[in-house]
Amino acid sequence: MSGPASGGGLAGRRVLVLVGGSVAAFKAADVVALLRVGGAEVRCAMTPAATRFLGPLTLRALSGNPVVTDLLTPPERGPGMEHLTLSGWAELQVAVAASANLIARLALGLADDAVTATVLACRAPLLLAPAMETAMWEHPATREHVTTLRNRGAILVGPVAGRLASGREGEGRMAEPAVIVEAAAALLAEGGGAARRGPVG
Ligand SMILES: Cc1cc2nc3c(=O)[nH]c(=O)nc-3n(C[C@H](O)[C@H](O)[C@H](O)COP(=O)(O)O)c2cc1C
Protein backbone atom coordinates (compact mmCIF):
# COMPACT_ATOMS: atom_id res chain seq x y z
CA MET A 1 0.00 0.00 0.00
CA SER A 2 1.38 3.38 -0.88
CA GLY A 3 1.54 5.86 1.99
CA PRO A 4 2.27 9.57 1.95
CA ALA A 5 6.00 8.90 2.27
CA SER A 6 5.94 7.12 -1.09
CA GLY A 7 4.46 10.18 -2.70
CA GLY A 8 1.09 8.63 -3.55
CA GLY A 9 -1.22 11.53 -4.33
CA LEU A 10 1.08 14.20 -2.92
CA ALA A 11 3.92 14.69 -5.37
CA GLY A 12 3.96 18.24 -6.68
CA ARG A 13 0.64 19.14 -5.06
CA ARG A 14 0.17 22.47 -3.28
CA VAL A 15 -0.97 21.90 0.29
CA LEU A 16 -1.74 24.74 2.67
CA VAL A 17 -1.34 23.79 6.33
CA LEU A 18 -3.31 25.98 8.72
CA VAL A 19 -2.55 25.69 12.41
CA GLY A 20 -4.93 26.47 15.26
CA GLY A 21 -4.29 27.20 18.90
CA SER A 22 -4.72 23.75 20.35
CA VAL A 23 -1.96 22.21 22.41
CA ALA A 24 -1.66 19.69 19.57
CA ALA A 25 -0.16 22.46 17.40
CA PHE A 26 3.30 20.97 17.88
CA LYS A 27 2.17 17.99 15.79
CA ALA A 28 1.79 20.34 12.82
CA ALA A 29 5.55 19.98 12.45
CA ASP A 30 5.15 16.27 11.73
CA VAL A 31 2.27 16.92 9.33
CA VAL A 32 4.37 19.40 7.36
CA ALA A 33 7.41 17.11 7.38
CA LEU A 34 5.39 14.14 6.15
CA LEU A 35 3.77 16.19 3.39
CA ARG A 36 7.21 17.26 2.22
CA VAL A 37 8.49 13.68 2.33
CA GLY A 38 5.57 12.78 0.07
CA GLY A 39 6.66 15.43 -2.40
CA ALA A 40 4.04 18.10 -1.71
CA GLU A 41 4.75 21.82 -1.81
CA VAL A 42 3.72 23.18 1.56
CA ARG A 43 2.88 26.65 2.82
CA CYS A 44 1.63 27.46 6.29
CA ALA A 45 -0.42 29.97 8.21
CA MET A 46 -0.88 30.01 11.96
CA THR A 47 -3.32 31.74 14.27
CA PRO A 48 -1.78 34.00 16.91
CA ALA A 49 -2.67 31.38 19.53
CA ALA A 50 -0.97 28.64 17.50
CA THR A 51 2.30 30.58 17.58
CA ARG A 52 2.22 30.31 21.37
CA PHE A 53 2.33 26.53 21.09
CA LEU A 54 4.73 26.11 18.15
CA GLY A 55 7.33 28.50 16.78
CA PRO A 56 6.67 29.64 13.19
CA LEU A 57 10.38 29.19 12.54
CA THR A 58 9.90 25.44 12.86
CA LEU A 59 7.25 25.36 10.16
CA ARG A 60 9.27 27.76 8.02
CA ALA A 61 12.24 25.41 8.16
CA LEU A 62 10.18 22.29 7.52
CA SER A 63 8.01 23.75 4.76
CA GLY A 64 10.78 25.75 3.11
CA ASN A 65 8.50 28.78 2.93
CA PRO A 66 7.71 31.82 5.06
CA VAL A 67 4.87 31.23 7.51
CA VAL A 68 2.01 33.72 7.63
CA THR A 69 1.10 34.55 11.21
CA ASP A 70 -0.06 38.15 11.20
CA LEU A 71 -2.75 39.24 8.78
CA LEU A 72 -2.13 42.93 9.32
CA THR A 73 1.67 42.94 9.30
CA PRO A 74 2.53 42.04 5.72
CA PRO A 75 6.03 41.34 4.42
CA GLU A 76 7.98 44.31 3.07
CA ARG A 77 7.64 43.13 -0.52
CA GLY A 78 4.53 42.26 -2.48
CA PRO A 79 0.98 43.50 -2.26
CA GLY A 80 0.69 42.55 1.40
CA MET A 81 -2.40 40.39 1.12
CA GLU A 82 -0.95 37.08 2.14
CA HIS A 83 -4.36 35.54 2.82
CA LEU A 84 -5.22 36.04 -0.85
CA THR A 85 -1.86 34.79 -2.03
CA LEU A 86 -2.21 31.62 0.04
CA SER A 87 -5.86 31.04 -0.79
CA GLY A 88 -5.20 31.39 -4.50
CA TRP A 89 -2.21 29.07 -4.33
CA ALA A 90 -3.67 26.14 -2.40
CA GLU A 91 -5.04 22.98 -3.96
CA LEU A 92 -5.96 21.66 -0.55
CA GLN A 93 -6.29 23.27 2.87
CA VAL A 94 -5.43 21.17 5.90
CA ALA A 95 -6.35 22.78 9.21
CA VAL A 96 -4.59 20.97 12.05
CA ALA A 97 -4.82 21.43 15.79
CA ALA A 98 -8.21 22.91 15.04
CA SER A 99 -9.38 24.22 18.38
CA ALA A 100 -13.00 24.61 19.44
CA ASN A 101 -12.49 28.33 19.05
CA LEU A 102 -11.08 28.05 15.54
CA ILE A 103 -13.88 25.71 14.48
CA ALA A 104 -16.42 28.23 15.80
CA ARG A 105 -14.73 31.08 13.96
CA LEU A 106 -14.61 29.10 10.72
CA ALA A 107 -18.26 28.13 11.05
CA LEU A 108 -19.21 31.76 11.58
CA GLY A 109 -17.18 32.83 8.56
CA LEU A 110 -14.97 35.16 10.56
CA ALA A 111 -11.80 36.51 8.98
CA ASP A 112 -10.00 38.06 11.92
CA ASP A 113 -6.60 36.42 11.55
CA ALA A 114 -4.37 34.92 8.87
CA VAL A 115 -5.96 31.47 9.10
CA THR A 116 -9.63 32.41 9.08
CA ALA A 117 -9.17 35.11 6.43
CA THR A 118 -7.35 32.61 4.22
CA VAL A 119 -10.03 29.94 4.62
CA LEU A 120 -12.79 32.41 3.88
CA ALA A 121 -11.01 33.47 0.70
CA CYS A 122 -10.15 29.94 -0.43
CA ARG A 123 -12.24 27.66 -2.62
CA ALA A 124 -9.98 24.64 -2.25
CA PRO A 125 -11.33 21.73 -0.18
CA LEU A 126 -10.81 21.95 3.56
CA LEU A 127 -9.58 18.99 5.59
CA LEU A 128 -10.06 19.66 9.28
CA ALA A 129 -8.26 17.91 12.14
CA PRO A 130 -9.87 18.97 15.43
CA ALA A 131 -8.08 18.67 18.77
CA MET A 132 -9.68 19.45 22.09
CA GLU A 133 -10.94 18.13 25.40
CA THR A 134 -13.88 15.74 25.22
CA ALA A 135 -16.26 18.19 26.87
CA MET A 136 -15.42 20.86 24.28
CA TRP A 137 -15.81 18.38 21.42
CA GLU A 138 -19.16 17.15 22.74
CA HIS A 139 -20.53 20.61 23.54
CA PRO A 140 -23.66 21.40 21.50
CA ALA A 141 -22.04 24.57 20.21
CA THR A 142 -19.10 22.63 18.77
CA ARG A 143 -21.42 19.94 17.37
CA GLU A 144 -23.40 22.62 15.55
CA HIS A 145 -20.28 24.32 14.20
CA VAL A 146 -18.92 21.00 12.95
CA THR A 147 -22.22 20.23 11.24
CA THR A 148 -22.16 23.65 9.59
CA LEU A 149 -18.65 23.11 8.30
CA ARG A 150 -19.46 19.59 7.07
CA ASN A 151 -22.52 20.90 5.27
CA ARG A 152 -20.27 23.37 3.47
CA GLY A 153 -18.04 20.53 2.30
CA ALA A 154 -15.34 20.39 4.95
CA ILE A 155 -13.97 16.91 5.57
CA LEU A 156 -13.02 15.90 9.08
CA VAL A 157 -10.20 13.58 10.03
CA GLY A 158 -10.56 12.60 13.66
CA PRO A 159 -10.64 13.45 16.42
CA VAL A 160 -10.09 10.06 17.98
CA ALA A 161 -10.49 8.64 21.44
CA GLY A 162 -7.32 8.43 23.47
CA ARG A 163 -5.14 10.20 25.96
CA LEU A 164 -5.65 13.96 25.98
CA ALA A 165 -3.18 16.67 26.97
CA SER A 166 -4.97 17.01 30.31
CA GLY A 167 -4.17 13.39 31.08
CA ARG A 168 -7.81 12.37 30.72
CA GLU A 169 -8.97 9.71 28.29
CA GLY A 170 -11.70 10.44 25.78
CA GLU A 171 -12.64 11.61 22.32
CA GLY A 172 -10.95 14.79 21.19
CA ARG A 173 -7.38 13.69 20.56
CA MET A 174 -6.14 14.88 17.18
CA ALA A 175 -5.70 12.18 14.54
CA GLU A 176 -2.07 11.15 14.18
CA PRO A 177 -0.07 13.22 11.67
CA ALA A 178 0.42 10.20 9.40
CA VAL A 179 -3.34 9.64 9.32
CA ILE A 180 -3.96 13.30 8.47
CA VAL A 181 -1.41 13.16 5.67
CA GLU A 182 -2.94 9.92 4.35
CA ALA A 183 -6.32 11.66 4.27
CA ALA A 184 -4.82 14.63 2.45
CA ALA A 185 -3.14 12.35 -0.08
CA ALA A 186 -6.36 10.41 -0.63
CA LEU A 187 -8.34 13.60 -1.21
CA LEU A 188 -5.82 14.87 -3.72
CA ALA A 189 -5.55 11.50 -5.46
CA GLU A 190 -9.29 11.28 -5.94
CA GLY A 191 -9.33 14.75 -7.45
CA GLY A 192 -10.69 16.52 -4.40
CA GLY A 193 -7.90 19.03 -4.48
CA ALA A 194 -7.95 19.69 -8.17
CA ALA A 195 -11.56 20.70 -8.42
CA ARG A 196 -12.15 24.10 -6.92
CA ARG A 197 -15.49 23.73 -5.24
CA GLY A 198 -17.76 26.31 -3.79
CA PRO A 199 -16.91 27.77 -0.40
CA VAL A 200 -16.02 25.01 2.02
CA GLY A 201 -15.46 26.66 5.30
C1 LIG B 1 -2.27 25.05 27.67
C2 LIG B 1 -3.50 25.22 26.83
C3 LIG B 1 -3.91 24.21 26.00
C4 LIG B 1 -5.04 24.36 25.21
N5 LIG B 1 -5.42 23.32 24.42
C6 LIG B 1 -6.55 23.44 23.69
C7 LIG B 1 -6.97 22.36 22.89
O8 LIG B 1 -6.33 21.30 22.82
N9 LIG B 1 -8.09 22.51 22.17
C10 LIG B 1 -8.84 23.67 22.20
O11 LIG B 1 -9.87 23.74 21.54
N12 LIG B 1 -8.44 24.71 22.96
C13 LIG B 1 -7.32 24.63 23.69
N14 LIG B 1 -6.90 25.68 24.46
C15 LIG B 1 -7.65 26.95 24.36
C16 LIG B 1 -7.24 27.68 23.09
O17 LIG B 1 -5.84 27.91 23.07
C18 LIG B 1 -7.99 29.03 22.97
O19 LIG B 1 -9.37 28.79 22.85
C20 LIG B 1 -7.50 29.84 21.81
O21 LIG B 1 -8.18 31.08 21.80
C22 LIG B 1 -7.72 29.14 20.48
O23 LIG B 1 -7.24 29.98 19.47
P24 LIG B 1 -7.48 29.69 17.92
O25 LIG B 1 -8.87 30.16 17.61
O26 LIG B 1 -6.45 30.53 17.26
O27 LIG B 1 -7.29 28.25 17.68
C28 LIG B 1 -5.77 25.56 25.26
C29 LIG B 1 -5.35 26.59 26.08
C30 LIG B 1 -4.23 26.43 26.85
C31 LIG B 1 -3.82 27.56 27.75
Write the pLDDT tens digit of every residue in 71-102.
998 888 888 899 999 999 999 999 999 999 99
Domain that holds residue 31: 4-189
Please indicate, yes or no, if residue 201 is contained in any of the structural domains: no
What is the reported pTM? 0.94
Residue closest by Cα to atom 10 of ligand 1: 99
Question: For residues 53 and 135, what is the distance between their CA atoms, to the nearest angstrom?
Answer: 21
Q: Is the CB of 179 under 6 A from ligand 1?
A: no
The pLDDT value recorded for residue 125 is 97
Question: For residues 187 and 153, what is the distance between their CA atoms, to the nearest angstrom?
Answer: 12
State the chain's mean pLDDT as an integer. Answer: 92
Please give the average per-residue pLDDT across 42-53, as a whole number.
98
The percentage of the chain sitting over the pLDDT mark of 70, rounded to a whole number, equals 92
- For residue 126, the domain's CATH number is 3.40.50.1950
The percentage of the chain sitting over the pLDDT mark of 90, rounded to a whole number, equals 85
Q: Is the CB of 174 under 6 A from ligand 1?
A: no
Q: How many domains does the chain have?
A: 1
Please indicate, yes or no, if residue 194 is contained in any of the structural domains: no
Count of CB atoms within 10 A of residue 178's CB?
14
Please indicate, yes or no, if residue 199 is contained in any of the structural domains: no
Please indicate, yes or no, if residue 198 is contained in any of the structural domains: no
Please indicate, yes or no, if residue 21 is contained in any of the structural domains: yes
Please indicate, yes or no, if residue 196 is contained in any of the structural domains: no
